């Protein structure tokens, strides 16, 4: 199944076949998709949202009016990121709302906001399914290119026999795969595909090591996840990606060659060498600010009770790029533990960046080693955009979309 790094919105309504939706969510996550569940209030009477939250590894959207602090309404944010929107199971009621453009809860509002393919898997009592109004609504949606998975015939949960049973999880997943494949092969580019075609993107990732002696070094907790996610997303959007990486705890992104470095000095030299032939630089690495003033060529013995290690400052890579910048778009990260926005704003100016991605590394679900991040984007035009907690891959795409719009504005 082709779900790796796809963002899927899974709508869940109040149908008795709701348990199959848990299975769909689970299979999607196992196949590498980013799954965001949106439930109707009636669906929550049948299954606890917590079950979907744990399985999808994301918060469940239930209500538009109490969903976080982001400036962007949650239905628009989700809708903008989705590759596919599917409702499993789709009740007669929700089908009716969609057919008439009604947007009176989170799910139906997301449905009218998405600009990706929509797939509905209806499930209901046979008489409900045959009802002329329900059939009229289904026909109206089909006429608008909404995809359907026809329900099956057989024993229904309500004790009846007839057509209305939710199709199998396998069929649902296969149909989703087919739709995504069809979308990929469409000649019109999607919002992501190809928007970085012909662009040279340099990404730094991971932690550097500053050696004290042959066996010991100073480093930090950076895992490389954020940088690798950015490199992968940029390549998927058509960029020519160069990834300069310190140590990382995650596997290398597929199809991207990594230039490995150990120390901040090595990273500095590698980045500056490549800078002239780069259009966008995204500095997601965590290079050490200081290194031991002296490297001891033999393992230091523990003879003394205390040991003082004089440190000296490493070159500031971002600052050097900011000073040399000509046509390049420079994106830096500000990993902070306090006064996040003030520090990020100062860094933006001091380093002559175009965009700062600020994150509070102490916040739960953000920062080093986490699979998710919570970031605020500050650009050189004074815009400040707070994003909700999202997978690092999703955050990567939002950053790249922002960079594309900054580059367009520059022209
Ligand atoms: C136990 C139970 C099972 C239900 N199963 C279904 C179903 O399979 N399909 C359906 O269309 N409606 C079913 N309904 C009715 C819907 O829950 C009802 O029409 C509700 O308004 C749908 O709301 P929603 O679309 O906002 O989730 C069921 C209701 C109950 C109480």
Per-residue pLDDT of the chain (411 residues; tens, 9 = 90+): 578 889 999 999 999 999 999 999 999 999 999 999 999 999 999 999 999 999 999 999 999 887 665 667 888 888 888 999 999 999 999 999 999 999 999 999 999 999 899 999 999 999 999 999 999 999 999 988 899 999 988 777 767 777 899 999 999 999 999 899 876 655 333 345 688 999 999 999 999 999 999 999 999 999 999 999 999 999 988 999 999 999 999 888 877 889 999 999 999 999 999 999 999 999 999 999 999 999 999 999 999 999 999 999 999 999 999 999 999 999 999 988 888 899 999 999 999 999 999 988 878 777 777 778 889 999 999 999 888 788 888 889 999 999 998 987 666
Identify whether residues 20 and 122 lie together within a single domain: yes
Q: Is 95 near ligand 1, meaning CB less than 6 Å away?
A: no
Rounded to whole angstroms, how far apart are CA atoms 166 and 16?
9
Asked if 116 is an active-site residue, the reply is no
Residue 121 forms part of a structural domain: yes
Identify whether residues 141 and 268 lie together within a single domain: no
Quick check: 267 and 281 in contact, CB under 8 A? no
Structure-token match 């929700």, residue found: 94
Q: Is 15 near ligand 1, meaning CB less than 6 Å away?
A: yes
Q: What pLDDT is recorded for position 68?
A: 63
Which ligand 1 atom is the nearest neighbour of the CA of 107?
A: 26
Which ligand 1 atom is the nearest neighbour of the CA of 105?
A: 26
Q: What is the CATH number of the domain that holds 372?
A: 3.40.50.10300
Of 128, 159, 184, the residue at which a domain comes to its end is 184
Which ligand 1 atom is the nearest neighbour of the CA of 97?
A: 25
From atom 25 of ligand 1, which residue's Cα is the shortest distance away?
Answer: 94
Of 156, 184, 212, the residue at which a domain comes to its end is 184
Separation of CA 42 and ligand 1 centre (Å): 7
Separation of CA 146 and ligand 1 centre (Å): 21
Structure-token match 């916040």, residue found: 363
Residue 376 forms part of a structural domain: yes
pTM of the model: 0.55
Identify whether residues 156 and 217 lie together within a single domain: no
Q: What is the CATH number of the domain that holds 65?
A: 3.40.50.1950
Q: What pLDDT is recorded for position 361?
A: 80
Residue 261 forms part of a structural domain: yes
Count of domains forming the chain: 2
Question: Which residue range forms the structural domain that includes residue 140?
Answer: 7-184
C-alpha distances in Å from residue 347, one per residue of 113, 224, 350, 378: 36, 21, 5, 10
C-alpha distances in Å from residue 208, one per residue of 80, 241, 282: 35, 20, 16
Separation of CA 90 and ligand 1 centre (Å): 9
Identify whether residues 128 and 256 lie together within a single domain: no
Separation of CA 320 and ligand 1 centre (Å): 61
Which is catalytic among the residues 158, 332, 353, 384?
A: 158
Angle (CA) 366 190 176, round 5° = 80
């Amino acid at each position: 199944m082709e779900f790796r790094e796809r963002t899927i919105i899974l709508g869940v309504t109040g149908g008795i076949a709701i348990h199959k939706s848990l299975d769909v969510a689970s299979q999607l996550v196992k196949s590498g998709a980013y799954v965001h569940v949106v439930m109707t209030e009636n669906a929550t009477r049948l299954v606890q949202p917590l079950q979907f939250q744990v399985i999808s590894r994301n918060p469940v959207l239930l209500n538009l009016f109490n969903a976080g602090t982001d400036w962007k309404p949650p239905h628009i944010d989700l809708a903008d990121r989705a590759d596919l929107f599917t409702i499993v199971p789709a009740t007669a009621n929700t089908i009716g709302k969609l057919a008439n453009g009604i947007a009176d809860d989170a799910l139906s509002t997301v449905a009218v906001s998405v600009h990706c393919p929509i797939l509905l898997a209806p499930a209901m009592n046979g008489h409900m399914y045959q009802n002329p109004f329900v059939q009229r609504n289904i026909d109206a949606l089909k006429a608008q290119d909404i995809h359907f998975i026809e329900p099956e015939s057989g024993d229904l949960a309500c004790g009846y026999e007839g057509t209305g049973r939710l199709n199998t999880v396998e069929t649902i997943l296969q149909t989703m795969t087919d739709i995504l494949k069809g979308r990929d092969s469409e000649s019109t580019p999607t919002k992501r595909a190809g928007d970085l075609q012909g662009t040279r993107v340099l990404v730094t990732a991971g932690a550097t090591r500053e050696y004290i002696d042959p066996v010991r070094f100073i480093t930090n907790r950076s895992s490389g996840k954020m940088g690798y996610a950015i490199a992968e997303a940029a390549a998927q959007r058509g960029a020519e990606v160069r990834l300069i990486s310190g140590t990382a705890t995650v596997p290398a992104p597929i199809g991207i060659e990594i230039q490995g470095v150990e120390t901040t000095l090595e990273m500095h030299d590698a980045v500056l060498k490549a800078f002239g032939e780069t259009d966008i630089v995204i500095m997601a690495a965590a290079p050490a600010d200081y290194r031991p003033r002296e490297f001891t060529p033999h393992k230091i013995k523990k003879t003394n009770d205390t040991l003082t290690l004089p440190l000296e400052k490493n070159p500031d890579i971002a600052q050097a790029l900011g000073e040399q910048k000509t046509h390049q778009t420079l994106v830096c990260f500000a990993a902070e533990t306090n006064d996040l926005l003030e520090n990020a704003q100062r860094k933006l100016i001091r380093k002559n960046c175009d965009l700062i991605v600020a994150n509070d590394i102490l916040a739960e679900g953000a920062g080093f080693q986490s699979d998710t991040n919570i970031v605020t984007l500050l650009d050189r035009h004074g815009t400040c955009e707070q994003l909700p907690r999202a997978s690092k891959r999703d955050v990567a795409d939002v950053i790249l979309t922002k960079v594309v719009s900054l580059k367009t504005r520059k022209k």
